[in-house]
Chain A
Amino acid sequence: DQQVKQNSPSLSVQEGRISILNCDYTNSMFDYFLWYKKYPAEGPTFLISISSIKDKNEDGRFTVFLNKSAKHLSLHIVPSQPGDSAVYFCAASRNFGNEKLTFGTGTRLTIIP
Protein backbone atom coordinates (compact mmCIF):
# COMPACT_ATOMS: atom_id res chain seq x y z
CA ASP A 1 0.00 0.00 0.00
CA GLN A 2 2.17 2.82 -1.30
CA GLN A 3 -0.21 5.73 -1.30
CA VAL A 4 2.62 8.18 -0.63
CA LYS A 5 5.91 7.67 -2.41
CA GLN A 6 9.28 9.33 -2.17
CA ASN A 7 11.23 7.84 -5.03
CA SER A 8 14.63 9.21 -4.08
CA PRO A 9 16.01 7.43 -1.01
CA SER A 10 18.90 9.89 -0.83
CA LEU A 11 20.03 13.27 -2.12
CA SER A 12 23.29 15.19 -1.75
CA VAL A 13 23.41 18.96 -2.21
CA GLN A 14 26.18 21.51 -1.87
CA GLU A 15 25.82 23.97 1.00
CA GLY A 16 24.17 27.19 -0.16
CA ARG A 17 22.42 25.57 -3.12
CA ILE A 18 18.77 24.60 -3.42
CA SER A 19 17.56 21.21 -2.16
CA ILE A 20 14.45 19.84 -3.85
CA LEU A 21 12.71 16.86 -2.34
CA ASN A 22 9.85 15.21 -4.17
CA CYS A 23 6.79 13.26 -3.14
CA ASP A 24 4.00 11.62 -5.14
CA TYR A 25 0.67 10.37 -3.91
CA THR A 26 -2.01 8.18 -5.42
CA ASN A 27 -5.06 8.79 -3.23
CA SER A 28 -7.05 11.70 -4.65
CA MET A 29 -8.88 12.02 -1.32
CA PHE A 30 -5.75 13.42 0.35
CA ASP A 31 -6.21 17.14 0.89
CA TYR A 32 -3.57 18.05 3.46
CA PHE A 33 0.15 17.47 3.21
CA LEU A 34 3.04 17.91 5.59
CA TRP A 35 6.81 17.63 5.56
CA TYR A 36 8.66 16.33 8.58
CA LYS A 37 12.38 16.19 9.22
CA LYS A 38 13.96 13.44 11.32
CA TYR A 39 17.36 13.23 12.93
CA PRO A 40 18.66 9.88 14.25
CA ALA A 41 17.30 8.92 17.68
CA GLU A 42 14.68 11.68 17.53
CA GLY A 43 11.05 11.81 16.50
CA PRO A 44 9.87 13.48 13.30
CA THR A 45 9.83 17.29 13.57
CA PHE A 46 7.23 19.30 11.65
CA LEU A 47 8.57 21.61 8.95
CA ILE A 48 5.75 22.92 6.81
CA SER A 49 2.27 21.99 5.61
CA ILE A 50 -0.06 22.78 2.75
CA SER A 51 -3.73 22.18 2.14
CA SER A 52 -5.20 21.38 -1.24
CA ILE A 53 -6.78 24.81 -1.55
CA LYS A 54 -3.31 26.26 -2.09
CA ASP A 55 -0.50 25.41 -4.46
CA LYS A 56 2.34 26.98 -2.56
CA ASN A 57 3.26 27.68 1.03
CA GLU A 58 6.41 29.38 2.22
CA ASP A 59 8.08 29.57 5.62
CA GLY A 60 11.53 31.08 5.70
CA ARG A 61 13.94 28.88 3.75
CA PHE A 62 11.27 26.23 3.18
CA THR A 63 8.68 26.26 0.40
CA VAL A 64 6.25 23.50 -0.42
CA PHE A 65 4.63 23.29 -3.85
CA LEU A 66 1.53 21.21 -4.55
CA ASN A 67 0.48 20.08 -8.02
CA LYS A 68 -2.91 18.44 -7.51
CA SER A 69 -3.40 17.39 -11.11
CA ALA A 70 -0.08 15.52 -11.05
CA LYS A 71 -0.58 14.37 -7.43
CA HIS A 72 2.87 15.67 -6.68
CA LEU A 73 4.41 17.86 -4.05
CA SER A 74 7.90 19.12 -3.52
CA LEU A 75 9.86 20.75 -0.74
CA HIS A 76 12.42 23.38 -1.63
CA ILE A 77 15.08 24.39 0.85
CA VAL A 78 17.11 27.43 -0.08
CA PRO A 79 19.82 28.06 0.81
CA SER A 80 20.71 24.61 2.10
CA GLN A 81 22.68 24.49 5.35
CA PRO A 82 24.66 21.65 6.99
CA GLY A 83 22.03 21.42 9.76
CA ASP A 84 19.48 20.46 7.11
CA SER A 85 21.13 17.05 6.77
CA ALA A 86 18.41 14.64 7.95
CA VAL A 87 15.75 12.28 6.66
CA TYR A 88 12.74 14.11 5.23
CA PHE A 89 9.29 12.53 5.26
CA CYS A 90 6.32 13.58 3.23
CA ALA A 91 2.94 12.81 4.84
CA ALA A 92 -0.64 13.12 3.64
CA SER A 93 -4.03 13.17 5.27
CA ARG A 94 -7.71 13.39 4.40
CA ASN A 95 -10.30 15.72 5.86
CA PHE A 96 -7.79 18.59 6.04
CA GLY A 97 -5.58 16.82 8.55
CA ASN A 98 -8.29 15.42 10.78
CA GLU A 99 -7.52 11.85 9.76
CA LYS A 100 -4.41 9.72 10.10
CA LEU A 101 -1.16 10.68 8.45
CA THR A 102 0.14 8.39 5.72
CA PHE A 103 3.90 8.72 5.43
CA GLY A 104 6.30 8.25 2.55
CA THR A 105 9.47 6.20 2.97
CA GLY A 106 11.69 9.23 3.41
CA THR A 107 14.60 10.87 1.60
CA ARG A 108 17.97 11.19 3.30
CA LEU A 109 19.34 14.66 2.53
CA THR A 110 23.05 15.27 2.96
CA ILE A 111 24.35 18.82 2.70
CA ILE A 112 27.98 18.92 1.62
CA PRO A 113 29.95 21.81 3.17
Chain B
Amino acid sequence: EPEVTQTPSHQVTQMGQEVILRCVPISNHLYFYWYRQILGQKVEFLVSFYNNEISEKSEIFDDQFSVERPDGSNFTLKIRSTKLEDSAMYFCASRAVTGLIVLTFGAGSRLTVL
Protein backbone atom coordinates (compact mmCIF):
# COMPACT_ATOMS: atom_id res chain seq x y z
CA GLU B 1 0.00 0.00 0.00
CA PRO B 2 1.38 3.48 -0.85
CA GLU B 3 2.65 5.44 2.12
CA VAL B 4 3.91 8.86 3.15
CA THR B 5 7.55 8.71 4.24
CA GLN B 6 9.06 11.16 6.73
CA THR B 7 12.66 11.78 7.73
CA PRO B 8 14.22 12.05 10.22
CA SER B 9 12.17 10.00 12.65
CA HIS B 10 13.70 11.94 15.54
CA GLN B 11 15.75 15.12 15.58
CA VAL B 12 17.29 16.83 18.58
CA THR B 13 18.39 20.42 18.14
CA GLN B 14 19.48 23.42 20.14
CA MET B 15 17.16 26.38 20.54
CA GLY B 16 17.75 28.91 17.77
CA GLN B 17 18.94 26.36 15.23
CA GLU B 18 17.29 25.78 11.87
CA VAL B 19 15.58 22.47 11.26
CA ILE B 20 14.28 20.91 8.04
CA LEU B 21 11.81 18.06 8.20
CA ARG B 22 11.37 16.05 5.03
CA CYS B 23 8.42 14.20 3.59
CA VAL B 24 7.86 12.11 0.49
CA PRO B 25 4.10 12.16 -0.19
CA ILE B 26 2.26 9.47 -2.13
CA SER B 27 3.27 9.85 -5.76
CA ASN B 28 -0.06 10.75 -7.37
CA HIS B 29 -1.21 13.01 -4.55
CA LEU B 30 -1.26 16.76 -5.16
CA TYR B 31 -2.39 18.17 -1.79
CA PHE B 32 0.21 18.25 0.98
CA TYR B 33 -0.07 19.11 4.64
CA TRP B 34 1.87 19.51 7.85
CA TYR B 35 0.28 18.90 11.23
CA ARG B 36 1.90 18.69 14.63
CA GLN B 37 1.11 17.16 18.00
CA ILE B 38 2.69 18.52 21.14
CA LEU B 39 2.97 15.78 23.77
CA GLY B 40 -0.37 15.23 25.49
CA GLN B 41 -2.22 17.63 23.21
CA LYS B 42 -4.34 17.30 20.09
CA VAL B 43 -3.11 17.07 16.52
CA GLU B 44 -3.02 20.64 15.15
CA PHE B 45 -3.08 21.87 11.56
CA LEU B 46 -0.08 23.91 10.41
CA VAL B 47 -0.28 24.37 6.66
CA SER B 48 -1.70 23.01 3.43
CA PHE B 49 0.01 23.24 0.04
CA TYR B 50 -1.36 22.80 -3.45
CA ASN B 51 -0.17 23.77 -6.90
CA ASN B 52 3.14 25.04 -5.52
CA GLU B 53 1.65 27.46 -3.07
CA ILE B 54 0.24 27.59 0.44
CA SER B 55 -3.53 27.20 0.29
CA GLU B 56 -4.22 27.56 4.01
CA LYS B 57 -2.17 28.12 7.16
CA SER B 58 -2.86 28.35 10.87
CA GLU B 59 -1.82 31.07 13.28
CA ILE B 60 0.91 28.70 14.52
CA PHE B 61 2.53 28.86 11.08
CA ASP B 62 4.30 32.19 11.54
CA ASP B 63 7.33 33.69 9.79
CA GLN B 64 9.61 31.11 11.43
CA PHE B 65 8.00 28.37 9.37
CA SER B 66 8.20 27.74 5.66
CA VAL B 67 7.32 24.90 3.29
CA GLU B 68 8.76 23.96 -0.02
CA ARG B 69 8.40 21.35 -2.71
CA PRO B 70 11.97 21.54 -4.05
CA ASP B 71 11.53 18.75 -6.60
CA GLY B 72 8.81 16.41 -7.84
CA SER B 73 8.86 14.14 -4.83
CA ASN B 74 9.87 15.93 -1.60
CA PHE B 75 7.85 18.27 0.59
CA THR B 76 9.75 20.01 3.36
CA LEU B 77 8.96 21.98 6.49
CA LYS B 78 11.63 24.41 7.66
CA ILE B 79 11.72 26.01 11.07
CA ARG B 80 14.13 28.91 10.86
CA SER B 81 15.01 29.47 14.50
CA THR B 82 13.62 26.79 16.77
CA LYS B 83 12.06 27.54 20.15
CA LEU B 84 11.50 25.18 23.07
CA GLU B 85 7.77 25.18 22.33
CA ASP B 86 8.40 23.82 18.84
CA SER B 87 9.14 20.44 20.43
CA ALA B 88 6.45 18.16 19.02
CA MET B 89 5.70 15.31 16.66
CA TYR B 90 5.34 16.69 13.15
CA PHE B 91 3.14 14.78 10.72
CA CYS B 92 3.17 15.17 6.98
CA ALA B 93 0.05 14.15 5.06
CA SER B 94 -1.06 14.06 1.45
CA ARG B 95 -4.23 13.41 -0.48
CA ALA B 96 -5.40 12.88 -4.01
CA VAL B 97 -7.28 15.46 -6.04
CA THR B 98 -10.15 13.15 -6.90
CA GLY B 99 -12.04 10.46 -5.07
CA LEU B 100 -12.68 10.17 -1.37
CA ILE B 101 -11.19 13.13 0.52
CA VAL B 102 -8.87 11.35 2.93
CA LEU B 103 -5.51 12.49 4.23
CA THR B 104 -2.83 9.81 4.42
CA PHE B 105 -0.37 10.58 7.22
CA GLY B 106 3.27 9.68 7.62
CA ALA B 107 4.67 8.14 10.80
CA GLY B 108 5.89 11.53 12.00
CA SER B 109 9.15 13.26 12.86
CA ARG B 110 9.76 13.88 16.53
CA LEU B 111 11.48 17.23 17.09
CA THR B 112 13.11 17.89 20.46
CA VAL B 113 14.40 21.42 21.06
CA LEU B 114 16.84 21.80 23.97
Whether A associates with B in a native complex is yes
Q: Across the interface, do B58 and A100 meet the contact criterion of CB distance under 8 Å? A: yes
CA A103 to CA B37, docked complex, whole Å? 10
Q: How far is the CB of A94 from the nearest CB of chain B, in Å?
A: 11
Hey, which chain B residues are within 8 Å of A91, CB to CB? 43
Q: Does B44 contact A (CB under 8 A)?
A: yes
* Interface residues, chain B, with chain A CB atoms under 8 Å away: 4, 33, 35, 41-45, 48, 56, 58, 91, 93, 100-108
Q: How far is the CB of A99 from the nearest CB of chain B, in Å?
A: 7
> Chain A interface mostly helix, strand, loop or mixed?
mixed
Hey, which chain A residues are within 8 Å of B56, CB to CB? 99-100
Hey, which chain A residues are within 8 Å of B106, CB to CB? 43
Q: Across the interface, do A41 and B107 meet the contact criterion of CB distance under 8 Å? A: yes
16 extra A-B contacts, CB within 8 A, seeds A98-B101, A103-B43, A105-B42: A32-B101, A41-B107, A42-B107, A43-B93, A43-B105, A43-B107, A43-B108, A44-B91, A46-B103, A97-B102, A100-B58, A101-B35, A103-B44, A104-B42, A105-B41, A106-B42
A-B contact pairs, 11 of them (CB 8 A): A42-B108, A43-B106, A44-B105, A46-B102, A49-B102, A93-B101, A100-B33, A101-B43, A101-B45, A101-B103, A105-B41
* Interface residues, chain A, with chain B CB atoms under 8 Å away: 32, 34, 36, 41-46, 49, 89, 91, 93, 96-106
Hey, which chain B residues are within 8 Å of A49, CB to CB? 100-102
Q: Across the interface, do A43 and B91 meet the contact criterion of CB distance under 8 Å? A: yes
Q: Across the interface, do B45 and A102 meet the contact criterion of CB distance under 8 Å? A: yes
CA A106 to CA B101, docked complex, whole Å? 21
Q: How far is the CB of B77 from the nearest CB of chain A, in Å?
A: 15
Hey, which chain B residues are within 8 Å of A105, CB to CB? 41-42
Hey, which chain A residues are within 8 Å of B102, CB to CB? 34, 46, 49, 97
Question: Which residue of A44, A89, A104 has the most chain B CB atoms within 10 A of its CB atom?
Answer: A44
CA A43 to CA B6, docked complex, whole Å? 10
Hey, which chain A residues are within 8 Å of B105, CB to CB? 36, 43-45
Q: Across the interface, do A100 and B4 meet the contact criterion of CB distance under 8 Å? A: no
Of all chain A residues, the one with the shortest Cβ separation from B95 is A97
Q: Across the interface, do B104 and A100 meet the contact criterion of CB distance under 8 Å? A: no
